[in-house]
A and B are shown apart, each in its own frame.
Chain A
Amino acid sequence: MMTCREAARLISQELDAPLPRGRRLALRLHVGLCRACRAYRRDLRLLTDWVRSRGQDLEAAGEGSRLSEADRRRLEEALAGARE
């Protein structure tokens, strides 16, 4: 049977490209029998769905960080300089 090491690699790869049929079936068999790989696949799908659905949301991206006052001033100056 396929090892967990190999299964983990395919669990990731199927998020990027369709797996060849033989690999896909072997993975299905492994995951059906292996609780750890099942949990890993579930978590990766959660993580991937979350990031893909929110990645391009300009309002939500990145946890409310703000430029510091110093950075703000530096940017203002750079902009003003560029216009002269």
Chain B
Amino acid sequence: MTEGGDRTLPDPSEWVERYGDLLYRYALARLADPDAARDVVQETLLSAVKGRTSFVGRADPRTWLVGILKHKIVDHIRRIVREAPADDDPEAAWFDSSGRWRNPFGTVTEPDRMLDSREFWRALRRCLAGLPRRQAAAFVLRELEGMDTAGLCQELGITATNAWVLLHRARLGLRRCLEKEWGRVAEEPNR
């Protein structure tokens, strides 16, 4: 929190102006879908209005609102996962019948440049949007929301082994996708 210290909750009529983009960005990084991100922001603001007497002035209003948003995001992800079909096994596309890499990864030559902040978030969002939904959901809850395996199992109603398989496939899929995204970045001279 760089400019924290704001301990009073502004009037709800100012919320969209002051916090709308922050909440939207946070949701978009996790849901990778602009419509879904806007919907969870709306749900968040509406439940914050109803619950605003519970804001006791101990926290930064942004932290308080993001706390509500996190719950809405997890609810949304849980709904998606319940409705999503089981994934096909993508591993046959990655490994040959003797278990060797079909297309080994090259070495990333300039990791710092590839991990340039804004570019990276954009690439990550595109790649998350392209993953099967259950894999994307597991990755977001684990890596962006910091949930452990037990938390994942509870939220998604799956076993630890399922969780590890989903995360493994998500990571491999992301690595493959990011290679394309990073390749594009590397080709732009003097960016």
Contacts and interface: CB of A to CB of B under 8 A. Distances in A.
Interface of A: 3-6, 8-9, 12-13, 15-17, 35-37, 39-40, 43-44, 46-48, 50-52, 54-56, 58-67, 71-72, 74-76, 78-80, 82-83
Given A4-B100, A39-B107, A55-B146, A78 B45 contact: yes
Which 7 residue pairs are nearest across A and B when measured between Cβ atoms? A3-B99, A36-B104, A62-B25, A62-B29, A63-B121, A12-B168, A5-B99
25 contacts: A8-B94, A12-B167, A13-B164, A15-B167, A36-B105, A37-B101, A40-B105, A47-B171, A47-B174, A51-B124, A51-B143, A51-B144, A52-B143, A55-B143, A62-B26, A62-B29, A63-B119, A64-B118, A65-B34, A66-B24, A67-B20, A75-B41, A78-B45, A78-B46, A79-B16
Contacts of B13: 76, 79-80
Contact of A50 (B12, B20, B120, B164): B120
Nearest to B34: A65
Contacts, number: 151
Given A39-B105, A44-B175, A79-B49, 6 more contacts: A12-B164, A16-B148, A16-B164, A50-B120, A63-B125, A64-B118
Contacts of A16: 142, 148-149, 163-164, 167
A75 B21 contact: no
A3 B168 contact: no
Nearest to A2: B99
Contact of B42 (A61, A62, A66, A74): A74
B24 A65 contact: yes
Nearest to B115: A50
Interface residues of B, number: 64
Contacts of A79: 12-13, 15-16, 45-46, 49
Interface string B40-57: 011001100110000000
B27 to A, nearest CB: 8
Contacts of A80: 13
